[in-house]
Structure 1
């Protein structure tokens, strides 16, 4: 009996000590925080469009800025809790300025995260209204904007809900009916009634057997590939000079290739200039500064993708001729310098920091979009970016792994007309939703049952803002990642974010029910995700320089690295496709051609084993005849005192 009592006393003592000492601890640490935050907070411009929640903290911020941080007991305290206000005075009644400041910083930070206050000049913490289409213009021109964005079907929310309700009921009925009639051969239920879903194995792409078709080429220089592709696509023409006033003398083609390889292989411009013949460092850096931009890199990629689209050989890999299946995935890479676009992760980078290189690919192996963002960010926010802001590809169905999925993205992609088909880890634990009660379905003998209701009122009450959000994304006024990063940054979920998530729950439930029932869909998702995983291995082989650690700190520079890397990959994919197409066209024996087609169908043009990415060694020089760099007599006679 004594032991539990001692534990209880120890716990109570700890709680009392924590409550008593907490303010002393943060006050003692306040100086370090003040040194970092004080100047920033004095000069930041806050949006002073007050709402009932922001008045108290805004008053405190305005007072702090007016006094240039030199505050006393006259400082506003209404934003603090009663306990915090009491703690501001010590036993002698003296106002604890340092404690006030640290509590003020905490509350300001929380207010920003919660969206109670926002900043005027900022990327992340603007008011959500700054990201959306202007409200007044929206109210006046709603019909025209919806038509321009192709969203007129979603105007009447009652009709949308009615349609989705019928679809969801039909999906529950169809999926369960096939289970009960034993037509779904790949589903079982354990003793607790939990679903166990199996998917027949999908063969991975056999790149080894495909590589055998390139044997007569031995190793192809990456420089030759870039040159061959240039002759056919003229992608280097996209690297135009920034200045349009005067006609410029164009650099040699070798300078273009050096810049692309220096960035895309992560070698670095200075290093590639110093280890190459015919290239000077000044000339290469001048070319890069005046000719290379993120926009130009995207345009060059587009040139290559356009020729790839014309090759019928790649249609061997298309699952459905009426659909284009795409996928996306991220790869973590280290960043060797301090960067706001990188984050620490011991799992991936040890004591270092890194970023995520996020890439999109379609069934034709066209790498059509890439971006770079901090490794701590969720990939789901960037899915819509790649599908909306690429210059070439119109996706019908898109797949990601669990990192790329969220309920909000289900809702957004549905309204963009793209079927979202992610591979969800722990599918049997996923929550299913319905408009009807669970009991309604239980009485019909269904085994797959909903867990929760859809909050229809929440969706309806914010539908106008959802439509405005979708118009903003569809008309490319703001990227989806910017909007969702702001919405998800609120410490208390924003009503608009809750509403789009609630709508997405309907679409997610429809997808899961079909995914359970349709083995062909599951296999198609698996196959497309195998393709993006192979692409990540490909990108790892390309980005070999500097121990695969990016040497640039800025987001734009990092995206230029991954853009040039994608350019090299697309050039290799195109060269492979052209080579295989020509080989098929010139093969006269029908039986041999059929065998080649089978190999190509089961393989992938994402093949690089036959490509020499690392340059060549020159053994024609008589290096043995050259005088040694070292004078051993002088070295051995030198003594360190």
Structure 2
């Protein structure tokens, strides 16, 4: 970062990050004490039998330990929604617009132009056409809108900028629902990030071969950030790109949304050599789910002499190079600052920092710092069954979103048909917007029903409602002939709450 040393105080004040201003010696002292306490505590709880969520098996003179893998729960299409009256996607979008006025975010490419009612109808038509991979020509044959009208609207209103603004508005509205914070895991805003593979019909720069996912075809991989079931952000990456190098970017690249994360989980593909330390610098607890946790613990390091722990079951394999981190701290600070100030592509910086190419002392120090934080996390993961459950629950929510997103895409074929990377990205954003709208609709109903049951002092029912995932689509009609010009069906929330209350009583067999 240019001029960092010259303007260090000014830049650090602008960032307002206590961790960057704190002497690195004090930070490492805290981490040393935390790690030492954890190593002792983890082994003590295993030896005493207090940790009942670890399996021990003797093999000769060696004790083999394993962790029971948390069960996956089906977060998608809960049977509760089978009884809810079906609603057409057109009516659902009207309802969402009444709640958060998302149509206002669709601005004309020429600022002086304004929307009329016909424009709004065509915007909905284009959104559904692109999200379901029907395309506007196919939509013109399946609805009461003309192809030329939709084509003009698509050119004037449907841009990445407007689509993201609409999705942000829907996400912010969902975050304002009373039920949203009830979806927190361990009282924390615990999100997840994962990529989903899609075929592309036409060849573009980002579409690449992947024998595992596409056979002989090509495809792309939308990388989506989920919090409390809502798709907060998405980034289109090639199937050849490593997911973990885009985690920082997807978390902090969108500054237009008023939602913060306390914790984020990924699968093994979301990990790299620097994500622990980069997210820690932003006060986000990184909690990945590793495929082989036992082999990963062989990388645990310590800031104290490892001979202190040689008799323990779970122990560090080496001593971390504290001096290297302290010596290189002045060179690490500008890296953190550049990422926080978004002076250049965040994913490009992360890719270089995580790469094994071009070794340097600064990079080695960053990796060593990352290893210390990873070691602390691994010890926490072994010791805390609740943490493991929360990590699995967060990832399950991401998988449920992918199921919903896949069903929307497969309404008219699962391939992206865009002729360029930009078109594919626009179609994907249309799909995210539609999925976000469906989730928000379901969450609005559940939030209202939860409030009703709490007013009735039926807290057991309210707790049941909080556990229902809003990711469901069996009551949403995406197919058929679309009549956008027909008089809108208004949803009476009060009437709907009465109906949902009856459905809930039957569901709970009361």
TM-score scaled to structure 2, two decimals?
A: 0.86
CA deviation profile, 1:258-277 (whole Å, cap 9, x unmatched): 12112222222332234322
Partner of 1:345: 210
Q: Which has the higher contact order (CA 8 A, sep 6+)?
A: 2
Preserved CA contact (<8 Å) 1:207 1:603:
no
In the alignment, structure 2 segments of 5+ residues that lack a partner are 484-510
Q: Spell out, residue by residue over 1:514-540, the C-alpha distance to the aligned partner (whole angstroms, 9 max, x if none).
A: 111011101111111111111110110
CA distance in 1: counterparts of 2:380 and 2:205, whole angstroms: 41
SS across alignment from 2:369: helix
SS across alignment from 2:350: helix
Equivalent residues of 2:131, 2:408 under 8 A apart: yes
Counterpart residue number, 2:499 = none
Deviation at residue 255 of structure 1 after TM alignment: 0.9
Contact 1:381 1:485 in 2 (8 A): yes
Aligned to 2:249: 385
Deviations 1:355-391 (A, max 9, x none): 111111112x221001110111111111112211232
Shift of 1:309: 1.8
Deviation (angstroms), 1:598: 4.8
Query: What is the rounded CA distance, in whole Å, between the counterparts of 1:584 and 1:290 in structure 2?
Result: 41
1:288-307 pair list within 5 angstroms: 288-307=154-173
| Structure 1 equivalent of residue 131 of structure 2 | 264
The alignment status of 1:367 with 2:235, answered yes or no, reads no
Length-normalised TM-score, structure 1 = 0.69
- Map 1:187-198 → 2, pairs under 5 A: 187-190=54-57, 191=59, 192-198=62-68
Q: Which residue of structure 1 aligns with residue 270 of structure 2?
A: 404
Q: Does residue 301 of structure 2 align to residue 433 of structure 1?
A: yes
Contact 2:82 2:475 in 1 (8 A): no
What's the CA shift string for 1:80-135, capped at 9, x where partnerless?
Answer: xxxxxxxxxxxxxxxxxxxxxxxxxxxxxxxxxxxxxxxxxxxxxxxxxxxxx3x2
Deviation at 1:456, TM superposition (A): 2.7
**Where does residue 496 of structure 2 map in the other structure?**
none
Task: Write the distance in 2 (CA, Å) between the matches of 1:425 and 1:543.
Answer: 29
Alpha-carbon distance in 1 for matches of 2:126, 2:119: 12
Matching residue of 1:608: 473
The correspondence for 1:312, drawn from 156, 174, 178, is 178
| 485 and 203 in structure 1: CA distance in 2 versus 1, 3 angstrom threshold | closer
1:193-224 deviation line (CA, Å, top 9, x unaligned): 3321125646443743321451xx1x210111
Matches within 5 A, 1:184-583: 184-190=51-57, 191=59, 192-198=62-68, 201=71, 203-205=73-75, 207-214=77-84, 217=85, 219-244=86-111, 246-248=112-114, 250=116, 251-278=118-145, 280-321=146-187, 323-363=188-228, 365-390=229-254, 391-430=257-296, 431-442=299-310, 445-488=311-354, 491-493=357-359, 495-544=361-410, 547-583=413-449
- Relative to 1, partners in 2 of residues 1:514 and 1:553: Cα closer, same or farther, differing over 3 Å? farther
Question: Distance in 2 between the 1:249 and 1:565 partners?
Answer: 22
Change (3 A) 1:574 1:455: same
Corresponding residue SS for 2:234: strand
Higher-Rg member (1/2)? 1
Task: Judge conservation of contact 1:154–1:160 (CA < 8 Å) in 2.
Answer: no
Report if aligned partners of 1:263, 1:269 keep a CA contact under 8 Å in 2. Answer: yes
**Cα distance, 1:163 vs. partner?**
2.1
The answer to whether the Cα contact below 8 Å between 2:192 and 2:398 also exists between their aligned partners in 1 is yes
* Counterpart Cα distance in 1 of 2:404 and 2:329: 43
Deviation at 1:153, TM superposition (A): 2.7
| CA drift at 1:504 | 0.6
Distance in 2 between the 1:518 and 1:437 partners? 25
Q: Out of 45, 48, 72, which is 1:178 matched to? A: 45
d(CA) in 1 for partners of 2:140 and 2:430? 17
Instruction: Give how far 1:484 is off.
Output: 2.0
> Secondary structure of the residue that 2:418 maps to in structure 1?
coil
Secondary structure (helix, strand or coil) at the match of 1:328 reads strand
- 1:3-51 per-residue CA deviation (whole Å, 9 max, x = no partner) reads xxxxxxxxxxxxxxxxxxxxxxxxxxxxxxxxxxxxxxxxxxxxxxxxx
Q: Is the 8 A contact 1:209 1:603 kept in 2?
A: no
2:500 corresponds to: none
Distance 1:550 1:170, change over 3 A: same
Inter-CA distance 348–520: structure 2 relative to 1 (3 Å threshold): same
Kept after mapping to 1: 8 A contact 2:186/2:390: no
Q: Is the 8 A contact 2:170 2:436 kept in 1?
A: yes
Report Cα offsets for 1:539-583 as digits up to 9, x if no partner: 101112553111225443333222221111111111112223444
Are the structure 2 counterparts of residues 348 and 289 from structure 1 closer, same or farther at C-alpha, using a change threshold of 3 Å?
same
Q: Deviations along 1:424-480, whole A, 9 cap, x unmatched?
A: 1100001111123332212xx421111123233432343233211211221222342
CA distance in 2, matches of 1:429, 1:581: 43
Deviation at residue 189 of structure 1 after TM alignment: 3.3
Cα shift at 1:589: 10
Distance 2:241 2:479 in 1: 33
Question: Secondary structure at the residue paired with 1:174?
Answer: helix
> Which runs of structure 2 are paired with 1:70-109 in the superposition (5 Å)?
none
Structure 1 alignment gaps of length 5 or more: 1-132, 619-641
Question: CA–CA distance in 2 between the matches of 1:200 and 1:297?
Answer: 36
